[in-house]
Structure 1
Amino acid sequence: MRLAAKLILLFLVGILLIVVVFSIITLQRERQIALEQHQRYAEDLAEIIQQSAMELDSQPAKVRHVRVRRVQLTTSDRSHLPRVPVERLTVTEHITTISMPDEQGTNRLYTYVPLFDSTGPAGEPSPSGSRIEISAPDSSGESHLQNALTTSLLTLVGVSGLSAIVIFVGGIRMVGRPLDRLIAKVGRVSRGDFAGPVELNSNDELGKLGSAVNQMCERLTQQREQLEIETAHRIDALEQLRHADRLRSVGRIAAGIAHEIGTPLNVVSGRAELIASGDLTPQGTRESALAIKTESDRISRTISSLLEFARQRRPHREETNLTQLLSTTIGLLRPLAEKSHAELRLDVPEQAVMAEIDQAQMQQVVTNLINNAVQSDDSGVEVVISLQDRGDKFQLTVTDNGRGMDQDTLSHLFEPFFTTKPVGEGNGLGLAISHGIVSEHGGEITVDSTPGSAPGHGSTFLVTVPKRQMTQGTIRDSA
C-alpha cells in the first residue's frame, strides 16, 4: 500500500510540475502578446498625433486611462523628461515599451515612439531627441496572472481527483493488495510455514514474483522433508555409534579393571593359600605377607585412580605462578628421572607467568606428562619442559626424544586404561585424567609424535589453557 501511494504521489508531483511549467509559459506568452498589442496601438496612435506633436509640449493628452505627451531625452527641464530612465531609451531608435510603477505605485506600460526630423541628409527624415510617451495601466499582466492561476488550480484539482481514483483503483487493487499478499506470504515463510500458495491473478511483474515465491516454497518444502529424513537417519546412525562406543568403552574399562585388579588378586590368593597350608617357613610366611601387602596397595592405587577419573572435581582456581610451579614439580621428579637415566630441562621466560588455575590439578598434569616422557625410552631420554606466554593464554610444552608413537596409539592415547607399558608399570589413567583436568580449565591438550630411532623422533605434548576463567560474556565475545 505504501509503495503504491509513493508511486502515485510521484506521478502527481510530475503532473503538478508539468502544469506549473505550462502555466508559466502560457503567462509569459500572453504577456508578450499583450505588450506587442499595446505597442501596435501606441504606434498607430503616435502616427495619428504626430502632426500635432508640438501641442503635446504644452498640454499632455489624456483619454480615459491613456496618457500621451511629448518628452525630450536631452533637456534640463524635468517636466519634459520621460518617466522611464533616459539611459534605457537611448540605446535604441525603435519603439520601446517598458513596464514600471508611476508616482502612485500603479504599474503602467510606457511606450516611446521616436519623432523624426525632415532635415536629414538628402532630405530624408532622421530621428530627433524627442519621443512621444504613451502610457496606460498595466492591467493585462494581473488579469493574465489570475487567469493562469485559476487555470492551474483547476488543472491541479482535476489531476488530484484523477490521481485519487487512480490510487484507489490502481494503487490499492492492482498494487497494494498483491503486495500485502506477498508480504504476508514472505512473513509465513520466515516462520517456517511454506504451505498455502500466494494467489495473484495478474500477468505483470507482481504476478511473476508471486509465481517465483510459490516455486521457492515448493522447493523449500521438498528440501525440508528430505533434510528431516536424512537427519532422522543420521540421528539413528549416531545413536548406534554412541551405543557401540559405550559398549566398547565399558568393555575396555572392564578389561582394564580385570587386568589391573585381577593379576594382584591372583597373587594375593596364591600367597594366602601358601600361608594357609602351613608348609611355609617363618621367612616364607613373612615374604608372602609382604607380597600380599604390595599387591593390595597396587589394587588400592588402581581403585583410587579410577575413582579420581570418574569423579573429577571442578578446579579451584587461584592466582598461581606457573614458572615456580614448574620449577617445584621438576625438582620433585628429577631424582626419579635420574634413576631412569633421563634428563629434565626447563625453559621458561624471565618474567613470571601468572594464571588463575587449580595448582594441585595442574601439577598433576605436569607430573603425568613428565612421567610419560621419561618412560618413553628405556635407554634414557632428554625431556624439555617449556612455558610460553600467549597473551590471554599460556602454553605448556613437554618434548622428549623417545621412541615416539604410531597413529594407532595416538588415536587411543587419552582413553582410560589404555597403556603401552608393561604390566605393573601403569594403569592407563594418567593421560585420561590429565585430559579431563585441562578440559575443565577450558583448555586443550594435543600431541605430535614421530615413531622410530632416527633423528627427530619423539613426542611433543602441547597444553594450551586460558589464564582467566571464561565467563558467559567472554565466551559470547570470543564466539
Structure 2
Amino acid sequence: MSIWSLKRGLSLRVSLLLYLVLPLIIVLAVTGYYSLERLEQQVEKRMQEDIELIARAIRGPLEHSLEHGREGGLAQTLASAFRIGRVYGVYVYDAGGRKIASSGPREPEVHSVELAELAAKGDRVGGYQDARGAQIYSYFVPLSDSVGRNTGLLQLTREGRDFQNYIERVRKQALVLLSLLALLLVGIVIYAHHRVIGRNLAALVGCMARIEKGDRSHRAVACGPREMRHLAVGMNAMLDSIARSENELEQRRRNQIELEQRLLQSQKMAAIGQLAAGVAHELGTPLSVVSGKAQRMLRKPDLPAPIAEVFGQIRDAVQRMEHIVRQLLDFGRSNPLRLRTAALDALAESAAAQVREEATAKEVTLRLEGPQPAPRTEIDTVRMEQVLMNLLLNAIQATDPGGRVDLRWFADDQTLGFEVADDGPGVPEELHNRLFEPFFTTKPVGEGTGLGLAVAQAAARDHGGRLSIGRSESGGALFTLILEKSGENK
C-alpha cells in the first residue's frame, strides 16, 4: 500500500475534531443547556421577587389609605408603583373581592369569589394568568388594618412577555457564547495540531514519500516535540538498518556471484590447463627432435646457403613453438608454491634483466623505482619473476620506439605489490574483463598466444592476491599486482 492511498482515511486533524472537539462541544452544549435552564429559573424568580418587593413597598400606604378611607391616597400609591419598577397593572380589592381601585391597561380574568377567598386566607400567591389573550404574572398580597383584620387584597401584574423576552435574550447570548467557545476550541485545536503535530508529521510524510520514490539516502529531520523527534530518530534508525541490511545482502550477492564466477573460471582454467598440458606434452618430444635435427644440419660446413637458410627458419619456428609449449605447460601446471623470503626490488631487477635485450632492441627505456629499503615477503620467486617478465614484455611490445616502461614496487600497512606502466595506446575499457581469459589477445595473429596474462593472473591468485588493469598517467596501460603481506613484513 502506498502512502498516497492512505489519504482516503481520516486525517489526524479531522480525527481530533471528531473524537476530541466534538465530544467536548456536546458536553459543553449539555452543560450549557442545563445551566441556561437553571439561569432561566433564577431570572424568573428574580423578576418575581421584584414584583414582591414593589408589593411590599406599597402595601403599607394602601392599608393606611383603606383604613382611613382616603381614595386619593389609593390613587397616588397605585401611581407610585409604576414609578418604582416595570409593573403591568395594580389592582386593589375589598374583603369581598370587589375592585375598589385599579391602574393598568388590562384586567386579569379573576373571579370575585376567588379574590374573596384569597383575601380571607391572607396568603401571598403568585402565578400566571390570561388577560384578554396576553399572559401576565399576578402577585396577590392581603391587606389588613391596624388591628390585623383583612380589609382587602392587592394584586400586582407584570407581562409574561417581559419574562420571556429577557429569557430569550439570555438564550441568544448563551447560544452565541457557546458558538464562540466551540469555534475558539476548534481554532485552538487546529492551530495546536498544525504547530505541534501537523507540520512535523507532514515533514515525516514528505520524507517517506521521497524514500518511496527511490531517494534511499534521504533522512527525516528530528524537530518538534519530543515524541515527534523520537519518531524521526526511530525512522532514521530503521532506514539505516534497512540500508545496512540491503548493503549486506548486496555484498553477499556480489560475493556469491564472484565465487561462482571464480569457481566457473577455476573449472574452466583447470579443464584448459589439462588440455594445454596434454597438448604441450605431446608436442614437446616431436619439437625437440625437429630442433635437434635442424641444429645438426646447420653445423655441417658444406651445407649450401639456401638450405642453411631454410633450416634456420625451421629452427626459429621450432623455438617459437617451444616457447608456446612452455607457456602451455606453465598455464596447465598445478604445482604448489615454493615460498621463500625475497625483496621486491630483487624480483623487479631479475625480471627486468630478462627483458632488457628486447627493450634495448626497441629503444624503450626501462625504469625501476620503489621505496628503499625494499619490502620483503614470502613468495614463489620463480613464478613471480615470470609474472613480472610477462607484464614487462607486454608493455615493451605495446610501447612505441623511444617510449618508456616503468616497473615500481610499493607497500602499505596490509599489502604490497608491483605496478607496470607504459606510454602506449592502452587497452579499451570494454576489453578489461576479457584480458585475463586464456587464449584472448589483442595482438595480431602470430604475435601472441593469449596465455601470458592468464598465467600471471593464476600466479597472483595462488599467492592470495589479484592482478588488475587500469590507465597510466601517460594514457597507456597500467597493470597492478597486489599481494598480502607475509613473513617478516606482516
Higher relative contact order by CA 8 Å / sep ≥ 6: 1 or 2?
1
TM-score (normalizing by structure 2): 0.38
Choose 1 or 2 for highest CA Rg. Answer: 2
TM-score (normalizing by structure 1): 0.39
